Structure 1
Amino acid sequence: MKKILLPTDFSDNAWNAITFALQLFKDEACTFYLLNSFSQPMSTPTAGITSTKIKESIYKAQLEASKEGLAEVLNKIKSEFKNEQHKFVTLSVYDSFPAAIKKVVEDKEIQSIIMGTKGATALKEMTIGSNTSGLIGVAQCPILAIPQNAKFKEIEEIGFSTDFEIDFNEKGLDKLLYIIKKTEAKVSVVNIMEKARPLTEIQERGKAQLQDLFRDTETNFYTLTDIGVSSGVHAFVESRNLDLLCVVAKEQDFLKRFLGMSYSKSISNHSSIPLLVLNIKQF
């Protein structure tokens, strides 16, 4: 049975990601962990009462609000999605968002995280810093980021952006391979280079590994040259009309460098493409 973590702050974005997950895994036996994390403000007033009592009072109020919010989400799920293969566990965790995610992933042996993003696009939010990008290098499992405008639909084409400088294997690509098999989507692999040059021996090996791993899938390889990685990624997404983009994060700030801090408003500024982030440590 798959174990999937669904963080929620009770926003529309979070609910959109939850509905996306339930539809994506509608035919799979899954345990979904609905997580809400909370922590106290940096400072609290102390007039007329001890700081400890104030903190205890705030904690109890936050915990109650968290549990009530999760109960409402669960009731909404049960009223709109009736699936006997799906089980749900609610978790109210008193901790920072990244720490709560890390703890639950480790304790519950979570296999993937599916969460909403606040920006118009998952790509854009990754570039400016967010709860999602803050998990890179912290959560040791794949993250599927669902932008607020994304509505679940059949996945027909998946983009995979890579420099081939990775020792690819089935374990590391497990989540991507699962989605490919489930959807029968074709894969478009793109290597973006600022200057045209032959692939190195390491890159040739990485490309050959991908060709083998995608051997049962319709796969096309593309090379974009004389363009920055950030602009290249967005241009490729736009031109291919992709349904999902996958990248491998090499370190915590990888996506900020990979996608750049800014990009043209004319390219994918209002895209609704989900972003699958694989962790290099899983390879």
Structure 2
Amino acid sequence: MDSILVVTNFSKTSNNAVTYAALLAQQINVKLKLFNAFKLPVHVSNTRLSAVSIDALIEKSRERIKKQALKLSEKFNIKVEYECSYVDLERKVDFLMKSSHYKLLVLGMSAKSMEQNLLGNPTTTLISMKKFPVLAIPVNAKFSGVHKILFACDVMQDVPFRTLAKLKRISIKLKSEVTVFYVQKKIDEIISEKNAYKTIDQGLENVTHYYKKVNSDAVIKEIEKEINKSKFDVLVMIPKKYGFWESIVHKSKTRVMASGLNIPLLSIPIE
């Protein structure tokens, strides 16, 4: 994990994510970059502004993010870069993650709402892109180290070795233990468990890890119960890829969990 990119719009949720990312960068000794995709305020976008006026607003945001970067650098003794651009957020983040080889994207996680469940938000959109690891931080989550990771997955489906390798690197870097949590629906799934354990054991070699399963049809509900019952610091999930028709009718569990959690969600895409 060489460097972290964190997205901010200067809101309370974003500022909390920035502080969390700075503390994480400090612990693992990596560089942090702040990025703001400038948007015209709603009351301004409905008026006719000259190019000079828009440039002035952008410059104001640049000065704001510059001050934030300097403050973080001094407070946490880390290297902090910054950028503010009048661009499409998703497209620019995708470009930055690829061109600058950032290992992790961090951004704030909005509270759960009906509108969000139907339309999503920038966080769920970036997770849905399934191109890079995304760490979504709830507004009330505070960084105090990552000691316990809950890895919610379907062990009966192949967990790619490269995905496990990423989780392994993160766990070793943070000195975390991992609980592999899965919900069993069918009795005959027991037959395949040993092979699944073997793959995960190999992928998480040198990482302290445990297995926990429950019998239920309510996957999301069981994950939430486990988070509330045990004091985990981060939830890790793998966003699955679906075909066109499946994507219309299927509500991603990772996307659903990316709203209303009380601990950070780390989404590691399948490669």
TM-score higher than 0.5: yes
Are residues 1:110 and 2:102 paired? yes
Residue 54 of structure 2 is matched in structure 1 by 59
Note if contact 1:194-1:228 (Cα within 8 Å) is conserved in structure 2: no
Structure 1 residues 126 and 200: alpha-carbon distance in aligned structure 2, compared to 1, 3 A threshold: farther
Q: Aligned partner of 1:21: which letter?
A: A
Structure 1 residues 168 and 206: alpha-carbon distance in aligned structure 2, compared to 1, 3 A threshold: farther
Residue 13 of structure 2 is matched in structure 1 by 13
Residue 252 of structure 2 is matched in structure 1 by 257
TM-score norm. by structure 2 comes to 0.82
Structure 1 residues 170-229: Cα deviation after superposition (integer angstroms, max 9, x where no partner): x3234422332133322111111344432575x754432111222323322122212311
Residue 222 of structure 1 is matched in structure 2 by 212
Deviates more, 1:67-76 or 1:27-36: 27-36
TM-score norm. by structure 1 comes to 0.79
Note if contact 1:156-1:186 (Cα within 8 Å) is conserved in structure 2: yes
Note if contact 2:25-2:32 (Cα within 8 Å) is conserved in structure 1: no
Residue 132 of structure 1 is matched in structure 2 by 123
Identity among equivalent pairs (%): 23
Structure 1 residues 147 and 211: alpha-carbon distance in aligned structure 2, compared to 1, 3 A threshold: same
3-state DSSP of counterpart to 1:65: helix
Residue 274 of structure 1 is matched in structure 2 by 264
Structure 1 residues 4 and 118: alpha-carbon distance in aligned structure 2, compared to 1, 3 A threshold: same
**Count of residues paired in the alignment:** 260
Cα distance in 1 for residues equivalent to 2:170 and 2:140: 21
Deviates more, 1:67-76 or 1:177-186: 177-186
Residue 32 of structure 1 is matched in structure 2 by 32
Q: Aligned partner of 1:114: which letter?
A: V
Are residues 1:158 and 2:153 paired? no
Shift of 1:159: 0.6
Q: CA RMSD in A?
A: 3.2
